[in-house]
Amino acid sequence: MIPFLDLKAINTPYEKQFAAVFKTFQEKGWYILGDEVRLFEQEFAHYCGVAHCVGTANGLDALRMILEGYKILGKIQEGDEVLVASNTYIATILSIQQAGLVPVLVEAEDRTYNFNFGDLEKRLTAITKVVMPTHLYGQLADMERVNAFAKAYNLLTVTDCAQAHGAETAYGSKAGSLADASGFSFYPTKNLGALGDAGAVTTNDLELATVITKFRNYGFEERYISHYKGINSRLDEVQAAFLRVKLRDLDVANARRRTIAMRYIAEIENDKLQLPRWDGSKEHVFHLFVLRCEDRDGLRDYLLERGVATTVHYPVPPHKQNALSSYSTLSFKVTERIHNTILSIPLNPALTDDQATKIISALNAFK
């Protein structure tokens, strides 16, 4: 069986390095907000090409704290609206609600899976203050267009970069540097994955970074003296140490992902399947390789019988989730069609060439 994702295989090459940094971590005896977090923040900020990185407990909190920070700074207020993708992961939307703001869902574009810009403009109101695109599946949203839209309507831009570590524009600007602020998840399945939950905020805004640094730690101005009503959402010291090890190989791992994706796109020939649109650039880091099939469930069963595990990202769109029942009367036809037809096939740095060949052969034989 070819697993959809074998995290043990991905992390096995790092075992000795993980053991060494864990030994150092134990010897130091400093477990919260120590040198490893500080150094990872510096290194990840440098990698993304920004001035500041603030480690957080997870990606949802990273997005939420950006919005909380802007509230503290007086740039937005409770009840303001945030434009967000209708086909994103639910955590993106929950981060907006948890910050006391109102998510306004925007229809998806049928091939890139990012914003439909015609619908984006229609969703504007007098209390729209933020536009929050998701770089879904590892492909950058059209940030030139997003930023031009934001500038025209005096909006803040916040990007959900949870699936796009290392994606970069033709000009070499990386995900995390393309908006006013960005939120990352380092959940173990991500391109840069920890061995547990972890996240970060990146920004060039010193004032925002300073507020979030306090807010993640109970709002402390100094120990036991709270300046804001903050939360507890700190990047774990040992996870920061593991992330520092894996960050050094991120570009190599992403290149491997693109190599496999290139094979899939060149060699999968089946008119029942719709493959991702990709121009071959570094704007896509293929966190997921998502194809489309009208008989998605039939294809999934067929592949499983042939020893290929798959998964669906995501089976239920946000506006159809019980947790977001207030949106249940809305209709997003493209988003619903996407969610009913998408299937993610194995693609990760641990996938072998032989496994990729087997996957391609199985897909080509599907009738």
CA distance 221 to 195: 30
Query: For the purposes of burial, counting CB atoms within 10 Å of the CB of 1, is it exposed (0-12), middle (13-18) or buried (19 or more)?
Result: exposed
The predicted model scores a pTM of 0.97
The alpha carbon dihedral of 268, 274, 276, 278 has a sign of positive
Q: Which amino acid is at 328?
A: S
pLDDT of 222 reads: 85
Average pLDDT (132-141) is 97
Average pLDDT (194-202) is 98
Judge if 230 and 347 occupy the same domain.
no
Judge if 233 and 254 occupy the same domain.
no
Residue 307 contacts residue 1 (beta carbons within 8 Å): yes
Judge if 230 and 256 occupy the same domain.
no
Q: Please tell me which residue, 144 or 222, carries the higher pLDDT value.
A: 144
pLDDT at 221 > cutoff 90:
no
Q: Please tell me which residue, 72 or 223, carries the higher pLDDT value.
A: 72
Judge if 231 and 255 occupy the same domain.
no
Average pLDDT (249-258) is 98
Judge if 20 and 159 occupy the same domain.
yes
Judge if 36 and 162 occupy the same domain.
yes
Judge if 150 and 207 occupy the same domain.
yes
> For tokens 């992403």, what's the residue?
254
pLDDT at 271 > cutoff 90:
yes
Average pLDDT (29-43) is 97
Residues pairing with 284 in the sheet: 139
Mean pLDDT of the chain: 97
Beta strands in 81-207 (DSSP E): 81-85, 102-106, 128-132, 156-160, 181-185, 199-203
- Reduced to 3 states, what is the DSSP secondary structure of residue 28? helix
Q: What is the pLDDT of residues 87-97, one digit of tens each?
A: 999 999 999 99
CA distance 154 to 144: 15
pLDDT of 27 reads: 95
pLDDT of 358 reads: 98
Residues pairing with 225 in the sheet: 222
Q: Which residues span the domain enclosing 360? A: 250-365
pLDDT of 111 reads: 87
Judge if 304 and 222 occupy the same domain.
no
pLDDT of 227 reads: 86
CATH at 36? 3.40.640.10
Q: Which amino acid is at 133?
A: P
Torsion of CA 49, 208, 184, 130, to 10 degrees: -110
Please provide the DSSP assignment of 97-143 as one string: HHTT-EEEEEPBPTTT-SB-HHHHHHT--TTEEEEE-B-GGGBPP-H
pLDDT of 318 reads: 96
pLDDT of 93 reads: 98
Residue 199 contacts residue 61 (beta carbons within 8 Å): yes
**CA-CA distances (angstroms) from residue 81 to 105, 203, 340, 348?**
10, 21, 28, 36
Average pLDDT (119-134) is 97
* The length of the chain, given as a count of residues: 367
Q: What is the pLDDT of residues 37-54, one digit of tens each?
A: 999 999 999 999 999 999
Q: How crowded is residue 304: how many other Cβ atoms within 10 Å of its Cβ? A: 12
Judge if 156 and 294 occupy the same domain.
no
Q: What is the pLDDT of residues 310-362, one digit of tens each?
A: 999 999 999 999 999 999 999 999 999 999 999 999 999 999 999 999 999 99
Number of domains in the chain: 2
Tell me 276's DSSP state.
P
* Residue that terminates a domain, selected from 247, 266, 293: 247
Judge if 150 and 231 occupy the same domain.
yes
